[in-house]
Chains A and B, each alone.
Chain A
Amino acid sequence: MGGDPISLNQDADLHLYMDGEMEPARRAAFEAQLAANPALAAKLHDYLHQQEMLKLGLDMMSGVTLRETETLAGRLRWRLDMDRFTRRVAPLAAAMLLVMGGWSLTVWVQEGGSGPQLAGETDDVPAFADEAVEAHSKAVALSALHPSPPQADATPVPALAQTALAQAATVQTARVPMGADRGMTVALPAIDPELTLIRAAIVPWNHGTALQFLYREPDGELLTLFVASGDPAQDGTLHTVVQDSLRLVYWRAGLVAYTVTGNKADGDLLNVAKRMADSVRRS
């Protein structure tokens, strides 16, 4: 009961020690202080005992649960389970929608066969290519979040879709329905042997619907092919543009515009795009 031999530092350390917040390297040194200082050890003992009493007391008093509380807890459990289930199943459901509901690539072909100009097209980057950049960013982010096996996300669309993405993955053309009996054939590039198709999706954009394919290159780089309907032009020339830190290569073939988007530093992108363009031309 004489002078308190516990220093302020020791007092602060006492709490860190008993709450497991003290660095492991300092624990041994503090334990030595505890062994050498009975007052400090007694205080630790008091605190630990007090902690036990508190736990015991609160635990006892909270032991009885009202039925209403249990019911609410059950409802919460159900909701969390459902949310978890929904999150898991949502991508699958989207794929199912695609398969069962079919799809339509809305093409801007005016009566008489001539397509409209794409609005918002600038001198530098056409609107479809601009859209392709955004779609690429989204697809890459999605892929990082859900590194899942190949799947398809879709917006609900008319029939014949079940074959379309399958066709896209295996053959070079896909019949794209438009309304009741209008339609167009979209030529798609054969899959480059060096690329792995990891996602195929129908994506909406400002001018209708487009197809998007996400591929992985052997070095792990992701690239996307964005296929959209455009104004009629037989411009097979490959245009390379860098936008938003991404490199994109686009070309047109008839009513269809193709854009390959990838990392700015991806030196292979132009070669991949060339092979795709050649493949489309041959089909």
Chain B
Amino acid sequence: MTFSLRDQLSNQLRSLRRYALALARNRDDAEDLVQETLVRAISGSRTFRPNGDLRSWLFGILHNVHVNGVRREQVRARGASAIEAMSNGQVPPSQPGHVELMRTMEAFATLPEEQRRVLTLVAVEGMSYQEAARLLDIPLGTLMSRLARGREALRVEMGHRDRAQPSPLRAVR
């Protein structure tokens, strides 16, 4: 509560971008999504109560923007292959665990959208189950099962990838 609006908004901008990336799986689309969210937030700024939850408000707008279909179709067309390019371009190879990171992101991109949403909101953004369920407008039980299935699918996928792809560290000189 002691954070200034400037700080809060900066933090939320980053969170919004992460969530947009998880939904769009493409950096350009994600940026569009965030920008459209901000445009709508500006025009509807009066709907934000002074003591309201900035994060819930902004995520709610972003969610609605994404779900309204027009954008969804565009995003779907560019789809899962884009995230591979995205992770290749964005994760510096010098980053420790770079290969594992890339594999995680690729595996994440293959998950169904509803699982990606829930995983991002709860596991990445740290939302409570209640808050995330309210935002996504789904029952709590549905959210929990999607979360469990998403985590398990990712774990299994990572296991497969680990077995299928030998680590570069083992490469012969």
Q: A residues near B, CB below 8 A?
A: 11-12, 15, 19-21, 43, 46-47, 50-51, 53-63, 65-66, 68-69, 72-73, 75-77, 79-81, 83-84, 87
Distance between B70 CB and nearest chain A CB, rounded to angstroms: 19
90-108 of chain B: CB within 8 A of chain A? 90-92, 95, 97, 100-102, 104-105, 108
Could you say which residues of chain B place their CB within 8 Å of the CB of A50? Answer: 104, 123, 151, 154-155, 158
Q: A19 and B129: CB pair below 8 A?
A: yes
Q: B residues near A, CB below 8 A?
A: 5-6, 9-10, 13-14, 17-18, 20-22, 27, 30-31, 34-35, 38-39, 41-42, 45-46, 48, 50, 86-87, 90-92, 95, 97, 100-102, 104-105, 108, 119-120, 122-124, 128-129, 144, 147-148, 151, 154-155, 158
Bound CA span A62–B123, Å: 16
Could you say which residues of chain A place their CB within 8 Å of the CB of B50? Answer: 83-84, 87
Could you say which residues of chain A place their CB within 8 Å of the CB of B39? Answer: 72
Bound CA span A169–B135, Å: 50
Q: Identify the 4 closest CB pairs spanning chains A and B, nearest first.
A: A62-B17, A72-B38, A53-B104, A58-B18
Bound CA span A61–B13, Å: 13
Q: Please pick, from B18, B45, B97, B151, the residue contacting A80 in the complex, using a CB distance under 8 A.
A: B45
Could you say which residues of chain B place their CB within 8 Å of the CB of A80? Answer: 5, 9, 45, 48
Q: A69 and B104: CB pair below 8 A?
A: no
Q: B38 and A69: CB pair below 8 A?
A: yes
Q: B144 and A62: CB pair below 8 A?
A: no
Q: A54 and B108: CB pair below 8 A?
A: yes
Distance between A277 CB and nearest chain B CB, rounded to angstroms: 42
Nearest A-chain residue to B57, judged by Cβ: A80
Nearest B-chain residue to A14, judged by Cβ: B148
**23 A-B contacts, Cβ less than 8 Å apart?**
A12-B144, A15-B147, A19-B122, A19-B147, A21-B129, A50-B158, A54-B124, A55-B124, A58-B18, A58-B105, A58-B120, A61-B105, A62-B30, A63-B90, A65-B17, A69-B13, A69-B31, A69-B38, A75-B42, A76-B42, A76-B45, A77-B6, A83-B50
Distance between B65 CB and nearest chain A CB, rounded to angstroms: 13
Could you say which residues of chain A place their CB within 8 Å of the CB of B21? Answer: 58, 61-62
Q: B13 and A65: CB pair below 8 A?
A: yes
Bound CA span A103–B108, Å: 67
Bound CA span A60–B17, Å: 11
Q: B151 and A57: CB pair below 8 A?
A: no
Q: A73 and B46: CB pair below 8 A?
A: no
Bound CA span A100–B35, Å: 43
Distance between A51 CB and nearest chain B CB, rounded to angstroms: 5
Q: A73 and B17: CB pair below 8 A?
A: no
Bound CA span A53–B91, Å: 12
Bound CA span A87–B128, Å: 30
Q: Please pick, from B5, B20, B46, B155, the residue contacting A46 in the complex, using a CB distance under 8 A.
A: B155
Nearest B-chain residue to A57, judged by Cβ: B105
Bound CA span A170–B17, Å: 59
* Most chain A beta carbons < 10 A, residue from B27, B87, B105, B147: B105
Q: A56 and B128: CB pair below 8 A?
A: no
Could you say which residues of chain B place their CB within 8 Å of the CB of A66? Answer: 31, 35
Nearest B-chain residue to A83, judged by Cβ: B45
Bound CA span A50–B161, Å: 14
Bound CA span A169–B148, Å: 66
Could you say which residues of chain A place their CB within 8 Å of the CB of B97? Answer: 53
Nearest A-chain residue to B151, judged by Cβ: A47
